Amino acid sequence: MTGLEAQILEWIAERTSSPALSQQLRSAEIARRDYVRTGYFVYLRPSEGSSAVEGRPQIQHPFIESPVLPDGAGCSLILKDGQLHYLEIYARGGFFPEDLADYELRPAP
């Protein structure tokens, strides 16, 4: 897991209204990563025996600010049947580097 991915998952875990989601995020493993130039998809595997997330929990996604991303970047966490499915990380204009090193997470505008 990259530093960016780990920080995003922890950001969401700290701010969600769901203890089950927080637990899934903190124990998740990467199943696969698909880069698509403007961002990438990180398919997540929750730990075995994780409690399902019920309903539609509050999720706060961070804004990603970086000198190499003129318009910044965002992310979206997707659940499927109460379990983590994937995290999408995307540039808000232009390309997203495969290995973003200089960034800061902030509350989404």
Q: Over 90: is that where the pLDDT of 49 sits?
A: no
Q: How far, in Å, CA of 44 to CA of 83, rounded?
A: 9
The residue among 65, 64, 89, 86 whose CA lies nearest residue 75 is: 89
Mean pLDDT of all residues belonging to the chain: 94
Distance between CA atoms of 21 and 25, rounded to whole angstroms? 6
pLDDT digits (tens, 9 = 90+) for 52-77: 999 889 899 999 999 999 999 999 99
Q: Residues 90, 29, 83, 107: is their CA dihedral positive or negative?
A: negative
End-to-end CA separation in angstroms for the chain? 26
